[in-house]
Amino acid sequence: MKIAIVTETFVPSTDGVVTRLKACIRYFKREGHDIHVIAPDLGVDEFEGIMITGIPARTLPFYRSKQFALPNRKVKKILEDYQPDIVHVVNPALLGVSGVRYAKKLGIPMIASYHTQVPKYLDYYHLSIFKGLLWWYFRKLHNQAYLNLCTSHAVKTELEEHGFQRVEVWKRGVDTELFHPSKYDQEMRKQLTAGHSDKKLLLFVGRLAAEKEIEKIRSVLKASDEFVLAIVGDGPHRSSLENYFAGTNTVFTGMLHGEELAKVYASADIFVFPSTSETLGLVITEAMASGLPLVAAKSGPTCEQVEDNRNGLLYDKDKKDDFTNTVLRFTDETLRERLVQYARADMANMSWEHQSRQVLDYYKEVVVKEEMVYAD
């Protein structure tokens, strides 16, 4: 099968979408399929032998820390030359518009996947008035697909409530060999704690943006000197966060990848996840696979992964000081040790292969349906 993937983000960028796509591409390649990726041009033209065709990218006024590719007619020529059996448009918003438009125009079966709660993000940038318009825009794009994938049952319900059609849940995955408690590294812990290795190390991993609500974590550091914090990642909110956390026991590492990131997870004590705007939160599965208990906000996607008082603790975002009080429960080391056992056990049998096989089966299903339509 020839598979064209049109995505708003890919290597060398690093986020949950890219991690999921890389896992799928490796699996498709092992299964003998041909893949061509169309993505913003960030100076990389191949991934493990798979061709990447770059579309000119630029920074946009509303997000200076990342480059985006706008709709481009070049996508039509690429699809015409490649002649794929299916087109997968990942998170259609800008470049993805061309993927949707030209797949339909050329009569190529197309599926789309939804990964980012952009309408919800508007609440954090005082632009809530435009949420209805964005829902209309994304619904119009996605409803042109034969099938739409999303990453949690809660998001599936929300999308269907907003009129999205033919929605299915794309399973979770994680690399349980890379993210493992055995990756604990004493030197890494010393760096992350700025030499305070005896204190309890809170860890946040993710894009540094307003919607992540990272500021909440400072309240814990103010309430108790038993905790220190490491913030891993980068994004448009970084300088603001560095100013906000000045004077606290907080270390900013910037972006980390692969083995280095695995060491970070395994060398921490508690993973904190304040965001309520995620469609899944891949970092949750990475933290759990590394043997970390979590403190996370009660939200649909999070509750599908974190069971309160079993593999982590959930807090009520609408209850004043509940986040701080919930994290402070980890002054009890026996609680942490109990939650760690279940967090790791829940991830032990998970892998990227299951979710990659699932989406490949969807591709085959859509192609067969298209062939049946033409046969009729």
Tokens of 233: 């990642």
Query: Taking CA 120 as the corner, what is the angle to CA 119 and CA 123, rounded to the nearest 5 degrees?
Result: 110
* Overall average pLDDT of the 260-284 stretch: 90
**What superfamily in CATH does domain 181-347 come from?**
Glycogen Phosphorylase B; (3.40.50.2000)
The distance between the two most distant Cα atoms of the chain, rounded to a whole number of Å, is 71
Cα torsion angle, 93, 94, 100, 101, sign: positive
**Residue of 336, 357, 355, 220 whose CA lies nearest to 282:** 355
* Overall average pLDDT of the 194-203 stretch: 97
- Angle of helix 258-267 relative to helix 282-289, nearest 10 degrees, comes to 70
**pLDDT tens for each residue of 1-56:** 999 999 999 999 988 899 999 999 999 999 999 999 999 999 999 999 999 999 99
**pLDDT tens for each residue of 109-168:** 999 999 998 888 888 777 889 999 999 999 999 999 999 999 999 999 999 999 999 999
Of 60 and 372, more confident: 60
Residue 123 is predicted with a pLDDT of: 81
- Between CA 79 and CA 76 the distance in angstroms is 5
User: Which contacts qualify for 51-58: CB closer than 8 Å, 24 or more apart?
Assistant: 52/10, 52/11, 53/78, 55/95
Residue 369 is predicted with a pLDDT of: 82
* Overall average pLDDT of the 349-369 stretch: 94
Share of the chain above pLDDT 90, in %: 82
Cis check: omega of the bond before 236, within 30 degrees of 0: no
In the chain, which residues fall in CATH 3.40.50.2000?
2-173+351-370, 181-347
Q: How sure is the predictor about 370, in pLDDT bands with cuts at 50, 70 and 90?
A: confident
Residue 66 is predicted with a pLDDT of: 85
What pTM was computed for the model? 0.91
Residue 372 is predicted with a pLDDT of: 63
Q: How sure is the predictor about 301, in pLDDT bands with cuts at 50, 70 and 90?
A: confident
Between 169-173, 220-224, 368-372, the lowest mean confidence (pLDDT) is in 368-372
Most trustworthy range by pLDDT among 111-125, 182-196, 331-345 = 182-196
Residue 376 is predicted with a pLDDT of: 52
CA 358 to chain CA mean position, Å? 18
Share of the chain above pLDDT 70, in %: 97
Residue 374 is predicted with a pLDDT of: 52
**pLDDT tens for each residue of 96-117:** 999 999 999 999 999 999 999 8
pLDDT at 375 over 60: no
Question: CATH class for domain 2-173+351-370?
Answer: alpha beta
Of 359 and 280, more confident: 359
**pLDDT tens for each residue of 218-271:** 999 999 999 999 999 999 999 999 999 999 999 999 999 999 999 999 999 999
